[in-house]
Structure 1
């Protein structure tokens, strides 16, 4: 069986390749990073790299293999940028993948969406899949992901599954953990409500597992699943785990939420008015993540997919720190 993996040269890509190869699949790895793609094809047996951009149908036509499944993990994932870029990468790119699946008679499409679609001002605990809004304009990334989900749900191609994995971290992460560690080394990590808000994170290995299960399980067709490590923790508790493992002291700074929100609101308006592409120091989306609790229910994935995390948060933290120490 052959799987087309989009976003193969991104953070999740290599973990997904390992998960698939360990379960006897062949992989066509599609992505933009030629250097990483070459590394994947040279270091893993039964992996073929195809360089391409999801926005270009012609690039997808380079794939001549018979594809049985598609795992669509490619796209633009950041909290700031131009709407045109998000639309092209996440909406148009998804439409091109749907067309590909229909044209090639692909058995199933698994789409990697995002739980950022639930983001809002206020606490949200054990959020279920059906609680996602139809619209959320907090940022362009969220808007584009909801539009991509809508495309899939309304498509004439019916053999799909949508996964919303929360807070991926692991070796190779260039986003969440590195940003926080960088802040710790400079001004300190901002805390709201004493860092007692509850959050979920997910070891990237568990996300890869969930995507394979969604691809294989007949009960999953036409459904949406939240994925986390199923270990809700306080924000500060997770950070303290990292710092304890690294043997360093966490530096925290307590922020006043109303004052900070006022500043961030002004910053976003200024950056938008002057069309500044660089990400502001803080966005409303990130502020809500830092201030409010948000945990997701994974009961549906556990019951219907047979999902059971194979790595705990503590094991993931230890693996991350040990790797960084060696490198």
Structure 2
């Protein structure tokens, strides 16, 4: 079986491509940075460079492939809508078109739980609990991209979408590194009471979920699946665990959620008015995540993908810390 993994120069795409190679699969990869995939090429992956925003490039990547695992996309909560539309919708449209024209059998799309919104605290969110309106460009464009994927199912393409909670492990350059940077600058503070529960997904568990999606039978196709470790934890316990492991000061200061939200709103307004719209030091979405409950119901993945998370959050964080110290 030959698979194509897009976004292989990123954290999740790169980790899954390596895992797929270890499983004996024939792996083709695409990514923005050739130097970031050199280790995969050494392990036997076929690297084909090219910009997925070009439909012909996407089609060429799909030639002779049985399954596409589409991990490329735009993440985050800050930026122009057009940039998210390009990174999520246009790239996915091109991959879907390439799959259909080249008779690829299956497309596995790495989506996001950002679709569920960033409003009030949410516990055990099911795949059907999508809001009426999406509050940021990432969520809105991820939803459109998912619709493009599921629409292709009507033309015979087998499709599956995974929505993993924030992923931890060696190679993460977004989640915990941001908190580490804040602490190094003396800016990290516990937002709210510090007791809000959240879900994480250890990268090893996501690898197993993605692998399962390659082989599931017909009843499991055409659906989205929440993925997590299945064991919610207080967010600030996880953050302080990493601080201890890296011998950094723990977060002990508290900040009112309301005050932090107001400050983030001012920060965003200033960045919007500034030429080039620089990234704010704090965003309202980040404040909400840092202070509110957000967990996923993974019963559908357990039932249809036979998903059984085996690696705990703490093991995933240990993996991250070991890697971070050596990075």
User: Does the alignment reach a TM-score above 0.5?
Assistant: yes
- Corresponding residue number in structure 1 for 2:145: 148
Q: How far is the alpha carbon of 1:196 from its aligned partner?
A: 0.4
Q: Does structure 2 retain, via aligned residues, the 8 Å contact 1:53–1:59?
A: yes
After superposition, what is the alpha-carbon deviation per residue over 1:246-282, rounded to whole angstroms, capped at 9, x for unaligned? 3443033311222222232233234334464321111
1:51 counterpart SS class:
coil
Give the structure-2-normalised TM-score: 0.93
Q: Which runs of 5+ in 2 are unaligned?
A: none
- Corresponding residue number in structure 1 for 2:18: 18
Tell me, yes or no, if structure 1 residue 132 matches structure 2 residue 130. Answer: yes
1:31 counterpart SS class:
coil
1:174 counterpart SS class:
coil
Matching of residues 190-269 of structure 1 within 5 Å: 190-218=189-217, 219-269=219-269
Change over 3 Å in CA distance of 1:319–1:107 after alignment to 2: same
Q: Does structure 1 retain, via aligned residues, the 8 Å contact 2:108–2:161?
A: yes
Change over 3 Å in CA distance of 1:88–1:4 after alignment to 2: same
CA distance in 2, matches of 1:4, 1:288: 36
Q: Which runs of 5+ in 1 are unaligned?
A: none
Q: How far is the alpha carbon of 1:167 from its aligned partner?
A: 0.6
CA distance in 1, matches of 2:270, 2:276: 8
- Corresponding residue number in structure 2 for 1:304: 304
- Corresponding residue number in structure 2 for 1:277: 277
- Corresponding residue number in structure 2 for 1:178: 177
Q: 1:99 aligns with which of 83, 97, 100?
A: 97
Q: Does structure 2 retain, via aligned residues, the 8 Å contact 1:90–1:145?
A: yes
Give the structure-1-normalised TM-score: 0.93
CA distance in 2, matches of 1:223, 1:3: 20
The 10-residue stretch of structure 1 (170-179 or 60-69) with the greater mean CA deviation from structure 2: 60-69
Runs of 4+ in 1 over 4 A off after TM superposition: none
Q: Does structure 2 retain, via aligned residues, the 8 Å contact 1:203–1:311?
A: yes
Matching of residues 160-175 of structure 1 within 5 Å: 160-175=159-174
The 10-residue stretch of structure 1 (96-105 or 313-322) with the greater mean CA deviation from structure 2: 313-322
Aligned length: 324
- Corresponding residue number in structure 1 for 2:318: 318
2:189 counterpart SS class:
strand
Matching of residues 8-157 of structure 1 within 5 Å: 8-41=8-41, 43-45=42-44, 47-63=45-61, 65-136=63-134, 138-155=135-152, 156-157=154-155
CA distance in 1, matches of 2:262, 2:61: 49
